[in-house]
Amino acid sequence: MPKFYNNARDHLLIFVQPTTDIPMATEEELKTIAQQLALPTGSKGLEIARMMETTNANMTAQALDALDMAAGQHVVEIGHGNASHLAGLLQRHPEIRYTGLETSVLMQTEAINRNREAVSNGRAKFFVYNGITLPDDLKEVDRIVTVNCIYFWPDPADFINQLATRLLPKGRLIITFATKQFMEQLPFTGYGFRLYEEADLLHLTNPTNLRHMQTLHAAEQVRSKAGQQVERKFSTMVWEKR
């Protein structure tokens, strides 16, 4: 079994803090990081989930703000991780329903454990799926949201089309991602990641069933281990079902 990293936290934090003073990782180590980001498993998967809970916080907040939900609506999240953000969402919108879809059994378990009350009262459900085909019984959804997951979709155009078919008219699809310009700086994104800019996603969507409403752009100033200010740019794109 490959060594993950003695200083795994520093290496994974380059997701938001690129730096030059961390020792160069081996190809095997980089592949392991990429695999864990795509499909968290075991103790390292739990570690990554905790890190992403912090490092993805602003991206998740932007995506959830774009939901613009009303009472009684149903939101589906693709790739929810440990779903630590769900409690806040349900507190702000006490009359909505939430369904989470994950490819990671570990993340499904973590999400259920962190949101036991919402699960027990029927406000939240969590399911595992294969990452390619949506469950047949997922229908008539008001909102679909996903953060930092599009990099791993095998056929993004087909998957986005599937998402569109599950939305009700006037329903919204929200996709949040870090830009290609930023992501290509990270050494592990060469292993299984597909990187995007706004124009790429516009080409993946069918304008006959999804109307592009807006794109929200943001940038975070973070300090690297070398003491340099670096900028992470990310975008949230919003479509409406025609």
In this predicted model, what pLDDT tens digit does every residue of 138-192 receive, in sequence order? Answer: 999 999 999 999 999 999 999 999 999 999 999 999 999 999 999 988 889 999 9
**H-run or E-run covering 112:** helix 105-114
**Secondary structure letter of residue 73 according to DSSP:** -
- pLDDT over 90 percentage in the chain: 81
CATH superfamily of 8-241: Vaccinia Virus protein VP39 (3.40.50.150)
**Secondary structure letter of residue 195 according to DSSP:** -
Is residue 205 pLDDT above 90, yes or no? yes
pLDDT value for 227: 52
Specify the range with the lowest mean pLDDT, choosing from 49-58, 71-80, 174-183. 49-58
Q: In what order do the strands lie in the sheet with 124-128?
A: 124-128, 97-102, 74-78, 141-147, 167-178, 229-241, 210-223
CA distance 174 to 98: 15
How distant, in Å, are the alpha carbons of 131, 167, 188 from that of 180? Answer: 22, 28, 13
Q: What is the pLDDT of residues 226-242, one digit of tens each?
A: 456 678 999 999 999 99
CA distance 166 to 142: 9
Q: Is the pTM of this model over 0.95?
A: no
Give the start-end residues of each E strand in 52-209: 74-78, 97-102, 124-128, 141-147, 167-178
Number of CB atoms found within 10 A of residue 233's CB: 15
Question: What is the phi/psi pair of residue 41, to 5°?
Answer: -140, 150
Q: What is the mean pLDDT of the chain?
A: 90
